């Protein structure tokens, strides 16, 4: 199994265009840019699936040689997209994929409903490409060497979908190929039993690193919204849980622009290292064989 981390930031990216917080200013000064979270995964190195479709997708695809069409063809190695939620930072990139000949989209029934009704993007791109909505089941074989399982980890609906009902709004995927496994959970409201089960025995877990602390937004922007009310378990609360799984490699992704850990020289990284965890890097390649 090969996994390419296409982007590691939360919605807005780093720096965020309208944010003058310390972290965004520093990033702008240093020329540091984190793009919005997205993953590419392959069982055989030839057929690839995207997990989430970020607003930065075009740039991310062009920066990834494995995802380029073979010269002289108009054939993409991208076989489809799996969505962990219907949030805009995970779905706006679907617009970029409209040039595809066909576009299988794997998601829960709730997410498909949002993309049909509240934010009818599949309707819109359906005029350009053959959208093939697939409702993800418990276990799904994607290609011969790659299977996906899901766990529902949250029920926070996107703000634009406030009227819709149903469950299964936020999921984690566990990918398995040749006996190795990786879990992708860029949004994780709590370390639940469902999450504990899906990461059991996994080799690698990429998980929600939106905020380092519960009150980070208060300090950075005067907002009164704690991390947990926004559906994001802060890194600091995840570290003791991570320490209980010494055989699994944990990397945080979906970092908000206020998160001090977005900067490689942050003193807070010492806490992370002590727990045996890492911050995922833009374009990082993980090879699980
Ligand atoms: C989230 O991760 O909570 C959402 O993407 C928030 C947003 O950017 O709307
Ligand atoms: Mn997000
Ligand atoms: Zn900022």
Give the rounded distance of the alpha carbon of 242 from its chain centre: 19
> CB–CB of 66/287 below 8 Å?
no
**Cα–Cα dist 231/156, whole Å:** 7
What pLDDT does 69 receive?
A: 96
Distance (Å) of CA 151 to CA 141, 145, 167, 169, 211: 16, 21, 12, 11, 22
pTM: 0.97
Ligand 1 pocket, mutate which of 88, 227, 253 (most atoms under 8 A from CB): 88
Q: Beta strand pairing status for 204-208 and 249-253?
A: parallel
Whether 227 lines ligand 1, by a CB cut-off of 6 Å, is no
Ligand 1 pocket, mutate which of 7, 8, 9, 10 (most atoms under 8 A from CB): 10
Whether 10 lines ligand 1, by a CB cut-off of 6 Å, is yes
Whether 55 lines ligand 1, by a CB cut-off of 6 Å, is no
Distance (Å) of CA 143 to CA 45, 94, 182, 259, 265: 11, 21, 16, 36, 40
State which residues of the chain have pLDDT below 50: none
> CB–CB of 205/199 below 8 Å?
yes
- Over residues 80-126, the pLDDT tens digits come to 999 999 999 999 999 999 999 999 999 999 999 999 999 999 999 99
The beta-carbon contacts of 90-93 under 8 Å, at least 24 apart in sequence, are 90/37, 90/52, 90/53, 90/54, 90/186, 91/52, 91/53, 91/115, 91/119, 91/121, 92/53, 92/54, 92/55, 93/38, 93/50, 93/52, 93/53, 93/54, 93/55, 93/56, 93/57, 93/58
What pLDDT does 234 receive?
A: 98
What pLDDT does 118 receive?
A: 98
Domains belonging to the chain, first-starting first, are 2-287 (3.60.15.10)
Q: What average pLDDT is seen over the chain?
A: 96
Whether 187 lines ligand 1, by a CB cut-off of 6 Å, is yes
What pLDDT does 154 receive?
A: 97
Whether 170 lines ligand 1, by a CB cut-off of 6 Å, is no
Q: What is the dihedral of CA 210, 211, 216, 220, to 10 degrees?
A: -40
- Over residues 30-52, the pLDDT tens digits come to 999 999 999 999 999 999 999 99
Ligand 1 pocket, mutate which of 9, 11, 157 (most atoms under 8 A from CB): 11
What pLDDT does 224 receive?
A: 79
Q: In what order do the strands lie in the sheet with 204-208?
A: 139-143, 146-154, 170-177, 180-185, 204-208, 249-253, 277-279
Q: Which residue in the block uniquely carries the two structure tokens 């370390």?
A: 191
Please report which ligand is nearest the Cα atom of 225. Answer: 1
């Amino acid at each position: 199994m090969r996994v390419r981390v296409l982007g590691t930031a939360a919605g807005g990216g780093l720096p965020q265009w309208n944010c003058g917080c310390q972290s965004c200013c520093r990033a702008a000064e240093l020329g540091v840019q984190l793009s919005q979270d997205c993953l590419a995964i392959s069982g055989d190195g030839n057929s690839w699936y995207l997990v989430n479709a970020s607003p930065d997708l075009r740039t991310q695809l062009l920066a990834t040689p494995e995802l380029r069409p073979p010269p002289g063809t108009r054939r993409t190695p991208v076989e489809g997209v799996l969505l962990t939620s219907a949030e805009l930072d995970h779905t706006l990139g679907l617009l970029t994929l409209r040039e595809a000949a066909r576009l299988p989209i794997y998601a829960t029934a709730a997410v498909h409903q949002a993309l049909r009704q509240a934010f009818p993007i599949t309707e819109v791109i359906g005029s350009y490409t053959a959208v093939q909505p697939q409702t993800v089941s418990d276990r799904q074989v994607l290609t011969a060497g790659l299977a996906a399982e899901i766990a529902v980890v949250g029920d926070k609906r996107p703000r634009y979908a406030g009227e819709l009902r149903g469950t299964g709004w936020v999921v984690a995927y566990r990918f398995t190929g040749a006996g190795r496994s990786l879990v992708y959970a860029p949004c994780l409201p709590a370390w639940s039993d469902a999450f504990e089960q899906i990461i059991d025995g996994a080799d690698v877990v990429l998980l929600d690193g939106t905020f380092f602390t519960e009150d980070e937004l208060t300090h950075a922007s005067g907002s009164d919204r704690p991390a947990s009310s926004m559906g994001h378990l802060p890194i600091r609360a995840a570290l003791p849980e991570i320490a209980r799984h010494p055989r699994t490699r944990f990397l945080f992704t979906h970092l908000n622009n206020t998160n001090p850990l977005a900067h490689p020289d942050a003193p807070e990284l010492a806490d992370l290292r002590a727990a045996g965890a890492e911050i995922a890097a833009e374009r990082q390649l993980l090879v699980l064989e």
